[in-house]
Structure 1
Amino acid sequence: MSKKEDIFKCGKEIFSSKGFKKTSIAEIAKLAGIGVGTFYNYYSSKEQLFLEIYIEENENLKKRLFESLDLEQEPLELINQLVTKNIEAVNTNPILKEWYNRDFYKELEQYYRQEGSKNLDSFRSLYTELFKAWKSAGKIRADIDEELLPVFFDSLVYIDTHKDEIGIQYFPQIIQYLAEFILKGLTDHPR
């Protein structure tokens, strides 16, 4: 294992037990068996290390969630299950829980606003395929353009990355309600 991998592993271990704010670079370096100066050869800051750890955890969560879902369920059931499982996972994973921690979420939001669309592509392609399948099966309104369908869920990501402006006290419940409202609107066929 390389030094960078050691730092990553040790950082993840300490962040998981103490959280972002209470973790110091000195603790990470000590656990990794290196000096603090060596830490800076691989990471410019504690924030950079945490961000890499967070991104990996988030990607792993998305994979596990989609592997655990029955994609044959009705759209509303599937989306409710997906959002509920995501919220439960975030609340039980100390790394992912930082998404709602005022000490760090602004940096995470900034990353996802600037670079995050690249990391969300796999997630987006999955729900785009789901929408196409649902539309061809008649489970989603035919009058809504196929290219517009994924934008509804893209808007949830946008809202989630602006939780401070909206009011963090409403999260993650607002995302759960909005996902449900969007799906009800997409599956309620006009008369």
Structure 2
Amino acid sequence: MEDKKIRIYECGKELFGAKGFKDTNVADITRKAGVSVGTFYNCYSSKEKLFMEIFLEENARLKKNLMESADLNEEPLRVIQGILVRNQEGMKSHPILKEWYNRDVFGKIEKLYREENGRSAVDCFYGDSLELVKRWQAEGKMRGDIDSEMIMAMFAAIISIDTHKEEIGLANFPQLLDYMTEFIMDGLTRRSQ
């Protein structure tokens, strides 16, 4: 059964990457994997569940590469700005990860997945970033009077605002994101009084 699950996963990944979430169905995946629809449902409760598993693995891979390629000894503002820019580029260029920007699709999938698995299941970036924030706090590069979990919520807000750029205004969005990041980081790197 494990062999069939791997085939379903790999075929799903290939089809989601080529056709997108909406245009891929379970029958396409099972046909390509050479398994029955019943076998699919023995492995995954839904197409959404398979997609989220694939999305999370690809997202974790991107975030790991971002953290490994960043010079974490630079000033926090430069590190965060660089990670945010490379994250956005990586998300938009990856055929599966770019579904994040399709709120009609991803909002429903993410909600379902969070309900089944909890918030931590979709926060791929959280662990390494939290440790980095704690390190910066210990080194005096970031305020220690603000809980590290709250700082992580601020970073999540910066990342999530990208899904609302049409509402904010496309003409102003890139500069707005830079300013917001700068202002948040400026506030976080000021020494506590």
TM-score, normalized by the shorter chain, greater than 0.5:
yes
Hey, what's the Cα distance between the residues in 1 that align with 2:67 and 2:180? 20
Shift of 1:159: 7.2
Q: How many correspondences in the alignment?
A: 186
Shift of 1:106: 1.3
| Paired AA for residue 90 in structure 2 | A
Instruction: Quote the RMSD (CA, aligned, Å).
Output: 3.0
Shift of 1:67: 1.0
Shift of 1:42: 1.7
Hey, what's the Cα distance between the residues in 1 that align with 2:42 and 2:121? 26
The answer to whether the 8 A contact 1:54-1:95 is kept is yes
Mapping of 1:1-191 within 5 angstroms?
A: 2-110=3-111, 111-112=113-114, 115-120=118-123, 123-141=125-143, 144-145=144-145, 148-157=147-156, 169-170=167-168, 177-189=179-191
Question: TM-score, normalization: structure 2?
Answer: 0.79
Hey, what's the Cα distance between the residues in 1 that align with 2:90 and 2:126? 19
Q: Any gaps of 5 or more consecutive residues in structure 1?
A: none
Hey, what's the Cα distance between the residues in 2 that align with 1:150 and 1:175? 21
Change (3 A) 1:190 1:162: closer
Q: How high is the sequence identity, in percent, across the aligned residues?
A: 42
Change (3 A) 1:112 1:40: closer
Shift of 1:176: 5.6
The answer to whether the 8 A contact 1:14-1:28 is kept is yes
Hey, what's the Cα distance between the residues in 2 that align with 1:151 and 1:175? 19
Question: TM-score, normalization: structure 1?
Answer: 0.80
Deviates more, 1:78-87 or 1:55-64: 55-64
The answer to whether the 8 A contact 1:140-1:187 is kept is yes
Deviates more, 1:96-105 or 1:126-135: 126-135
The answer to whether the 8 A contact 1:140-1:189 is kept is yes
Shift of 1:188: 3.3
Classify the secondary structure of the residue corresponding to 2:104: coil
The answer to whether the 8 A contact 2:48-2:109 is kept is no
Change (3 A) 1:128 1:55: closer
Deviates more, 1:122-131 or 1:47-56: 122-131
Deviates more, 1:88-97 or 1:169-178: 169-178
Q: Any gaps of 5 or more consecutive residues in structure 2?
A: none
Shift of 1:29: 1.1
Change (3 A) 1:188 1:52: same
| Paired AA for residue 145 in structure 1 | D
